[in-house]
Structure 1
Amino acid sequence: MDSSVSIDLQPHDGGKRGQDGSAPPYSYPYPGPAQGFPVQQPPRDFVLWSLFNTIFCNVCCLGFMALVFSFKARDRKVLGDTSGAGSYGKTAKCLNITVVVLSLLTAILIIILLATGVVAVSEAVQQNQNRNSYNFGN
């Protein structure tokens, strides 16, 4: 029982051949983080943060502008333009930070104005009651 086995060591290209019938050049797999090369993260677009700011904290329409830049960043990322996506993403991030800071300052200012207004109104009511009680006494 002599059976011979032959092993084909030629690269298998799935039937893809060049125009001249030759095999396509061998391509190496991308070295991932296991081989020591860092994996570059895609640029962020901050769409959810921009949407939140547009709905809840739209100070001077900056939330809407952040949403526009976020969509531009996402479009650039889909097209493969990482530098353009990074630029639009940074602009959206700066606008979102500005919106949050301005919204917090506005809320704090409103709370301070309401607190001082309530104190002023209560003092005015107290003075008015004192005048009325004094006028009824005479």
Structure 2
Amino acid sequence: MDSSVSIDLQPCDGGKVGPGASAPPYSTYPYTGPAQGFPVQQPPRDFVLWSLFNTIFCNVCCLGFMALVFSFKARDRKVLGDADGAGSYGKTAKCLNITVLVLSLLAVVLIIILFATGAVAVSKVAQHENQYRNNYGFNYGN
């Protein structure tokens, strides 16, 4: 950061600074950032990229699209300078994104479980059919 602050050190009455010494009219000090002890307030987050990902890939019950809408509202509020409104919309978008992600992961796990149990069930049916055919001598192709 290359900014500086200028401070006028001349007394208001135009006199000299100190006995017999003259000071330059301005002194320049480098800006080092906010004073210590004062926290820097971060702008509220809008989660647009996460919402866009959820809208494209994990749009369970259109909640990903709703998260995207709230993310855009948060970004608009941030641009207008309304930090409270942006924070509120950002929190809503974050909650919707978390909900969409959890529901999508549960759906994927459920599908994997259903396919795994379905494959086991199909293999058992095929095994019983082969066993039945071998025991009773049915030949479907001959």
TM over 0.5, yes or no? yes
How far the C-alpha of 1:34 sits from its partner, in A, is 3.8
Letter in 2 for 1:69: F
C-alpha RMSD of matched pairs (Å): 2.2
- In structure 2, the gaps of 5 or more residues are 1-21
Q: Deviations for 1:38-81, whole angstroms, at most 9, x for unmatched residues?
A: 11000000000000100110000000000000000000000000
Count of residue correspondences: 113
- 1:36, distance to aligned residue in structure 2 (A): 3.1
Amino acid at match of 2:69: V
Partner SS for 1:33? coil
Aligned-pair CA distance for 1:132 = 1.2
CA deviation after TM superposition for structure 1 residue 135, in Å:
2.2
Aligned to 2:128: 127
Query: What residue is the counterpart of 2:93 in the other structure?
Result: 92
1:16-31 aligned at under 5 Å gives the runs: none
Correspondence for 1:44: 45
Match of 2:137, SS state, is helix
One-letter identity of the residue aligned with 1:103 = S
Q: State the partner residue of 1:54.
A: 55
| Equivalent position of 1:116 in the other structure | 117
Name structure 1 gaps, 5 residues minimum: 1-5, 11-29
Give the TM-score normalised by the residue count of structure 2: 0.73
Counterpart code for 2:89:
Y
- TM-score under structure 1 normalisation? 0.75
Structure 1 counterpart of 2:5:
none
- Going by fraction, where is strand more abundant, 1 or 2? 2
